Structure 1
Amino acid sequence: MTVSYRQPGVVLTDRHFTVPLDHDAPTGETIELYAREVVASDKAHQDQPWLVYLQGGPGFGANRFVGKGAWLGRALKEYRVLLLDQRGTGHSAPANRQTLPLRGTAAEQADYLTHFRADSIVRDCEAIRREVTGGAPWTVLGQSFGGFCTVNYLSTAPEGLTAAVVTGGLPSLDAHADDVYRAAYPRIERKVAAHYARYPQDVERARRIADHLLANDVVLPNGYRLTAEAFQSLGILLGGSEGSHRLHYLLEDAFVRTPQGSALSDAFQEEVQGLLSYASHPLYALVHEAIYGQDTRPTNWSAERVRAEFPQFDAAKTLAGDGPLLFTGETIHPWMFDCDPALRPLRETAELLAARTDWKPLYDPARLAANEVPVAAAVYHDDMYVDTAHSLATARTIRGLRTWVTDEFEHDGVRAGGPRVLDRLLALTRDEA
């Protein structure tokens, strides 16, 4: 049953779909997917082409917009938009500590989650496209990991696309996770240096907080164990347009005086637990490194192993000297499955995924080289989350792809830039810019 309702300027319709868990076994187990159809109120009864949005992550449901926020208003000028909750997220067979035990053992959970990568998401799109559009191709907008999915789409089912737009999400076609993180840590260090240049007072604040965490066992109100390493992972904020400012305001409110002396404030702890908890998106932690698996090499906690090659990120060693504490970024570590109560029950499942050696290739360089789908990609200069050099190398392998390389935005440019980013990229796909 479909249900429609209104928000300012738009009509929304809840859509539900049934797809195979394993598309190679179409008569086997099925899962239920959810998507939200959005159309401008004044175009609700008009025939329009479709645009499907693939959210970043992995592990996040599609944006829950109110009205025509961010890029959506621009899209609704000419499209009906389908905001898809990718499998395992939102209302689409959510995968978390509450639902995964229904699969059985940790090994059975890990096997199940191998079906939650870009290749399965694209095959979901193709299955529901026939129902949504009557078989007509549609345009895809892929943000971050959604861009990884888009490149898989171009590799496996380009006949389903009229055009493709990627924002901050051109993946390397062949890099192992180790290669991704060896490129990432120097980039993260540059972002931290830029933050401290903007807010030099934060150097001492960050050191003081980390010192406190090394000397004290701190458990946040939700049960999260806040270690120095966990505190460093707040650097993930630095990849967003407002992230440096948000981090600054967080650090300035860290301590409060109490009868017993100085303590981490309730306000600081409350905000930190919201930023660090994976309760709303545990799939991100479980399959984040798996999105890079394409052969027999295990990912094997790549970010953790590669971090050892960059000793400047070791909080204890840094604090023993007088250097600034370095935050980390979009990296997943095994200790997260000890610190975060939302992840603790899934530690064994995560270990099995990290050890897996049967990952299938996600991209087809030969097919990409023969691409005929109009494609445009925003590549954000020194993007903290996706390596610029990797993105540009991939751009050169996709026939006809047009890039817009800019330092005007961070990784969240499609949100922070309002309609401008999507407008520019659609123009590029049409040779209008």
Structure 2
Amino acid sequence: MGTVTYRQHSCTVHEHRFDVPLDHMRAVGADNPTIEVFAREVVRDGGEDLPHVVHLQGGPGHEAPRNGDFHDGFVGHLLKDHRVVLLDQRGTGQSTRLDVRSLLEGGDFTGTGGTVDAQRLADHLALFRQDQIIRDAEVVREALTGGKPWSTIGQSYGGFLTLAYLSAFPEALTKCLVTGGLAGMVHVDEIYRRTYAATAARNETYFRRHRADRRTIREIAAHLRDTEELLPTGERLTPARFRLVGMSLGGSLRTDLLHYLFEGPWVTVGGRRRLSADFLAQVGTQLAWTPMYAVLHEAIYAGATPDLAGTATNWSAERLSREVPGFHPDADPLDEAEPWYLSGEHMTRAAIAEDPATRPFLEAVDVMAARTDWPAVYLPEVLKDTEVPVAAAVYHDDMFVPRDLSLATADLVGARTWITNEFQHDGLRASGGTVVDRLVDLLAD
């Protein structure tokens, strides 16, 4: 372990780096090297003897928060009673990364002629799910706490990680806070049917506020179908990728900002209507997520429990887009007899194929979509007997994590829940410290 320490705004910050096995289930060797995991430990003045809490970030594929002043927001509220550990999950941030440059330019996963070895790459990507991440966390915990248990706070996918942690290492945990992240113990098809319906509802809520945007969005989609418009990264913007700007509909902080994107997208070039460079740049920024987020998105749901063993995801988001009105990939945007909606956390094959950052992974994602021998990441038989106190914020209109499935999981683990429509999926960040304080109070009652 290597550590660098410095002072920042009356906090002591320790930056830790750990070597961990690529696959915790096998001995380290030539075919199972170590990778690096980074964790930033923040201690307020006078807090040296406080217990640890580890923040498990949403995603997959998102690094831990980078705060200018750690006293701000939810981290500041946690610092009152804890030493806060901000973990960059494997594949993200300062931990060993998952992206085209780190994986494919070195040649480890390419064959003759530079072609990608899809099976080998898929096997590698599969080692970046919940079961391996929480084992990384155990290495960090042992080093930082001397083996003492710690608390967790899990946002979105961080809640999925929490359930995996409770399944595998309940003795390592003193309490768990979950915000918008109680995963459903069901096949991904059941999850996406619900999230497509919730996304449709969020579209309609948005259009009630910004009525003219409904027509604007349809016209943009039709224009992109018929006209080549290039993003700043050089690739053509298609209706399939344009749809994904609807991700903003799932949060409190970005939904209203979406309207500004649509208030003036057009310019006239040579007598023809075209999309402005500013509009294309803004869309490009919104679509510039980490490749890990896209390529592993369905894989985090695969074979999640022992009862789901032997099942494949089989491109669930792609298949189900044809079932729910408003999302069919071949629908005519200008046919007002049918709805045409922006989508959310639905990584279709087309969206991955059209993004230069994810296209090289496409065949490997095909392999993962067909895989049926996934190890379970949640163990309901263990979860139902957990004695670890759990408090969870469940957002009534959550576009990404269905409420009814979250409440079923809450019943399974005996979690105390705060069900609210005051916030959307980004409530942990949008509320400052309100959500954290509410969950802490739930456990204190």
What interval of TM-score do these two structures reach, taking the shorter chain for normalisation? over 0.9
Q: Secondary structure, in 3 states, of the residue corresponding to 2:221?
A: helix
Q: What root-mean-square deviation, in Å, do the aligned CA atoms of Structure 1 and Structure 2 show?
A: 1.5
Check conservation: 1:253, 1:267, Cα contact below 8 A. Answer: no
Unaligned runs of 5+ in 1: none
| Separation in structure 2 between the aligned mates of residue 9 and residue 199 of structure 1, nearest angstrom | 44
Aligned to 1:289: 298
Aligned to 2:398: 383
User: CA offset at residue 5 of structure 1?
Assistant: 2.5
Aligned equivalent of 1:64, options 63, 66, 83: 66
User: CA offset at residue 378 of structure 1?
Assistant: 0.3
Check conservation: 1:110, 1:349, Cα contact below 8 A. Answer: yes
Superposition map of 1:197-208 within 5 A: 197-208=208-219
Q: Secondary structure, in 3 states, of the residue corresponding to 1:384?
A: coil
Aligned to 2:364: 349
* TM-score after normalising by structure 2: 0.92
Superposition map of 1:23-422 within 5 A: 23-28=24-29, 29-40=33-44, 42-43=45-46, 46-67=48-69, 68-101=71-104, 102=106, 103-104=108-109, 105-173=117-185, 175-278=186-289, 281-294=290-303, 295-314=309-328, 316-321=331-336, 323-399=338-414, 401-422=415-436
| Separation in structure 2 between the aligned mates of residue 261 and residue 27 of structure 1, nearest angstrom | 61
* TM-score after normalising by structure 1: 0.95
**TM-superposition CA deviations, 1:161-188 (whole Å, max 9, x none):** 1100000000012x11111111111111
Check conservation: 1:224, 1:277, Cα contact below 8 A. Answer: no
Comparing 61-70 with 75-84, greater Cα deviation is found at: 61-70
User: CA offset at residue 357 of structure 1?
Assistant: 1.2
AA aligned opposite 1:340: D
Q: Secondary structure, in 3 states, of the residue corresponding to 1:317?
A: coil
Comparing 94-103 with 317-326, greater Cα deviation is found at: 317-326
AA aligned opposite 1:359: W
User: CA offset at residue 324 of structure 1?
Assistant: 4.8
| Separation in structure 2 between the aligned mates of residue 258 and residue 8 of structure 1, nearest angstrom | 51
**TM-superposition CA deviations, 1:375-405 (whole Å, max 9, x none):** 1000000200100000001111113x10010
Comparing 250-259 with 179-188, greater Cα deviation is found at: 250-259
| Separation in structure 1 between the aligned mates of residue 285 and residue 166 of structure 2, nearest angstrom | 36
AA aligned opposite 2:299: A
AA aligned opposite 2:296: V
**TM-superposition CA deviations, 1:301-333 (whole Å, max 9, x none):** 100001111242236334233555311111101
Q: Secondary structure, in 3 states, of the residue corresponding to 2:326?
A: helix
User: CA offset at residue 251 of structure 1?
Assistant: 0.8
How many residues in Structure 1 have an aligned counterpart in Structure 2? 425
| Separation in structure 1 between the aligned mates of residue 427 and residue 34 of structure 2, nearest angstrom | 36
1:424 paired with 2:433, answer no
| Separation in structure 2 between the aligned mates of residue 23 and residue 51 of structure 1, nearest angstrom | 23
| Separation in structure 2 between the aligned mates of residue 4 and residue 38 of structure 1, nearest angstrom | 10
Aligned to 1:7: 8
| Separation in structure 2 between the aligned mates of residue 26 and residue 219 of structure 1, nearest angstrom | 47
| Separation in structure 2 between the aligned mates of residue 335 and residue 143 of structure 1, nearest angstrom | 28
> Percent identity over the alignment?
45
| Separation in structure 2 between the aligned mates of residue 144 and residue 347 of structure 1, nearest angstrom | 25
| Separation in structure 2 between the aligned mates of residue 405 and residue 224 of structure 1, nearest angstrom | 42
Unaligned runs of 5+ in 2: 110-116, 304-308
| Separation in structure 2 between the aligned mates of residue 43 and residue 322 of structure 1, nearest angstrom | 64
Check conservation: 1:56, 1:145, Cα contact below 8 A. Answer: yes
**TM-superposition CA deviations, 1:11-64 (whole Å, max 9, x none):** 322110111111111433211101111122x236x2111010000001111111
Check conservation: 2:231, 2:280, Cα contact below 8 A. Answer: yes
Q: Secondary structure, in 3 states, of the residue corresponding to 2:184?
A: coil
Q: Secondary structure, in 3 states, of the residue corresponding to 2:378?
A: coil
Comparing 387-396 with 330-339, greater Cα deviation is found at: 330-339
